[in-house]
Amino acid sequence: MVSEEGAQSISEPAVVGDYVLRSKLGEGAYSTVWRSEHRATGETVALKQVRLSSLSRQIRSCLDCEISFLSSVNHPNIVRLLDVLQADGCIYLVMEFCAGGSLAAYIKVHGRVQETIARRFMQQLGAGMEVVRSHFIIHRDLKPENILLSGPEEDRVLKIADFGLSRIVLPGNSADMVCGSPLYMAPEVLLFQRYDEKVQFFLNFFTAIHHIVCFCSVAEEHQVIYKSSIFWANTQRVTS
């Protein structure tokens, strides 16, 4: 997460390199994201702190993929990586700060998205995913919570973020690691099958589009995703 939703202030700000940590934006199994400021310029950024000791070999490989990919791209619909630091057994990814929060939070506040905004969001999401595809990257955790907005203004820009579970899958190859958020996993992953880049264009991409175009409550959406997964899984068993 690289936004300001639910930020928790810290009493004694720590310093990492040229950055002062101001508040916690979010926390996962392997990392914590901090709202931070550059000491000289005052620029607000997000520092993703990854604890290396907690990483398995596979997750470390995903981290290397995330850094390599984000370092090689400069696209308005992919969150920007500004710098990479290492200190005290941690790697810090210095990311652009997205003041508009996540797509999930935006839709929770605004409800059904207006057609003109939905069209723009879908175009931007598609443009970002085309960059991901062109680098043979599979995201594996694409969901509304990991799609950020540059700001609260009407001209906000959608950005794909959190490539912490990503990896490269070249044409003809596949992966088998079960990872991501269960309610957004593609059927192949749920069935413990090998999968390729197509997985992110089924449930992952579908659920993001579904959020944008046909807003529903979280409970309703989870029912849609669950039923879709079960239907697909049953179809695969019958046809195999």
Catalytic residue among 64, 83, 88, 141: 141
97 SS3 class: coil
Return the pLDDT at 95: 98
> Among residues 66, 96, 126, which one ends one of the domains?
96
| CA-to-CA separations, 182 to 20, 188, 195, 229, in angstroms, rounded | 35, 12, 16, 10
- 2 domain residue, yes or no: no
- 1 domain residue, yes or no: no
Percent of the chain with pLDDT strictly greater than 90: 45
H-helix segments, 85-202: 103-110, 115-134, 187-190
| CA-to-CA separations, 93 to 8, 20, 109, 164, in angstroms, rounded | 19, 14, 29, 11
Return the pLDDT at 238: 47
Same domain, 140 and 81: no
Q: What is the mean pLDDT of residues 50-54?
A: 94
- pLDDT tens across 186-231, in order? 667 766 777 777 776 665 566 666 666 665 544 455 555 455 544 4
Same domain, 206 and 134: yes
Return the pLDDT at 44: 98
Q: Taking the model in full, what pTM does it have? A: 0.79
Same domain, 76 and 31: yes
Whether residue 9 is predicted with pLDDT greater than 70 in this model: the reply is: no
Same domain, 128 and 161: yes
Q: How confident is the model at residue 239 (pLDDT cuts 50, 70, 90)?
A: very low
Tell whether residue 48 is among the known ligand binding residues. Answer: yes
Q: What is the mean pLDDT of residues 100-114?
A: 86
- pLDDT tens across 20-39, in order? 999 999 898 889 999 999 99
Return the pLDDT at 141: 85
Whether residue 13 is predicted with pLDDT greater than 70 in this model: the reply is: no
Q: Is residue 196 flagged as an active site residue?
A: no
How many domains does the chain divide into? Answer: 2
Same domain, 112 and 225: yes
Average pLDDT, the chain: 81
Q: What is the domain extent for residue 120?
A: 103-239
Q: What is the mean pLDDT of residues 88-94?
A: 96
- Contact assessment for residue 145 and residue 25, using Cβ atoms and an 8 Å cutoff: no
Same domain, 202 and 132: yes
Return the pLDDT at 190: 67
What is the domain-level CATH number for residue 42? 3.30.200.20
